[in-house]
Amino acid sequence: MRIANLSAGAAVLLTLAGPIAGHAATLSRAAFGQTPSGEAVEAFTLTNGHGVSATVITYGATLQSLVAPGRDGTKADIVLGFSDAGAYARNASYFGATVGRVANRIGKGRFTLDDKSYQLALNNNGVAALHGGVKGFDKVVWKVLDAKSDAAGASVTLGYVSPDGDQGYPGTLTATATYALDEKNQLTVTYGATTDKPTIVNMSNHALFNLAGEGSADGAMGNVLTLLADGYTPVDAELIPTGEIKPVAGTPFDFRKPTAVGDRIRDARDPQMVIGRGYDHNYVLNGKSGALRLAARLSDPKSGRTLDVLSDQPGIQFYAGNFIDGTMVGKSGKIYRQGDGIALEPQHFPDAPNKPAFASIRLNPGERYSNRMVFKLSIAK
């Protein structure tokens, strides 16, 4: 069907139940409301034969839902989000959104490219540019380029053209976002971009996960996390990396062994925990950048739901929902509070244009930017 236009821990994992005989992945398309300006928003739901489904909306190329069964077969939606386009537009949450042109923070909103200085909007407490600006990729309606399903899986590809000067960035950037769900219970998200003049790009996905189910009474702090990273990048008082890379060993940032997210989140002995109000830091992933490898594992001990995050990027931002303040009502009618979701955002390091020691996020004409991440679902015994 086509619509036009481990080394992460000792847990024993089970594959989800086999696909229904003769069942092929399905794709459905439905209206999802409209923006305040009247633009129509659509939702695409990808479903495989194991009972896993992902819903992607054209507003912000956003992962609106990811449903997975637990150990007893009970299904739960494991990403935070809202039930219609209007709610996404009203709430500056970034829940599930594609963030760009540049995810994360750029200090003072300034960078220099080929001896020319650029000033971006300071949309993060007046001290930094955050997630692409006042109207980043998360706040626009993307065009449907392709949608299809067959025996191997289902996918949807969305596109957006960001004009030269958009949010202060140089160059016309043509971006794509592809979500593909296969019969191995892998949701692969692939971002791509090209430009007509030198610019900077660092796209990512800002899904907030709770493997116990979004809106669950106990929140996400009981989720158990493993991060395959020996180092992280400390931040200053404005949450901008200092340029250092510090070892996680002996600190609350060490998740090399499976650890409940909430175990050390209130440990004020480490100044970095105080600055971030908990975890809001970039980790330096082990292994070779550019190669897809296991970056993180998140699991819910009660249900057994387990999520592996594979990435080809040098870093991953770990954010424990510290700034969710109880003012937003999610899609299941529950109030979202601090610690209700966990973001694991594969990307280049924050403020890379201003830190010569960090890998460059420059993109030139004739080159293609790419960021590939895989969210793989399984069940622990």
Catalytic residue ranges: 206, 345
Q: If we measure between CA atoms, which residue out of 149, 282, 271 comes closest to residue 204?
A: 282
Distance between CA atoms of 187 and 233, rounded to whole angstroms? 28
Going by the DSSP 8-state scheme, the letter that residue 353 receives in this structure is: G
Structure tokens at 288: 């070779």
Q: Which residues of 145-177 are buried (b: 16+ CB within 10 A; e: fewer)?
A: eebbbeeebbbbbbbbebeeebbbbbbbbebbb
Which residues have a Cβ under 8 Å from the Cβ of 5 and sit 6 or more positions away? Answer: 143, 144, 145, 146
Distance between CA atoms of 155 and 174, rounded to whole angstroms? 20
Distance between CA atoms of 76 and 369, rounded to whole angstroms? 34
Q: If we measure between CA atoms, which residue out of 25, 4, 11, 102 comes closest to residue 354?
A: 102
Distance between CA atoms of 373 and 104, rounded to whole angstroms? 17
Cis peptide before 305 (omega within 30 of 0): no
Sign of CA dihedral 291, 200, 93, 141: negative
Structure tokens at 330: 């999610």
Residue type, 338: Q
Structural element, H or E, at residue 293:
strand 293-299
The answer to whether the beta carbons of residues 130 and 121 sit under 8 Å apart is: no
Distance between CA atoms of 367 and 193, rounded to whole angstroms? 9
The answer to whether the beta carbons of residues 227 and 249 sit under 8 Å apart is: no
Distance between CA atoms of 111 and 354, rounded to whole angstroms? 6
Kind of pairing between the strands at 153-162 and 143-150: antiparallel
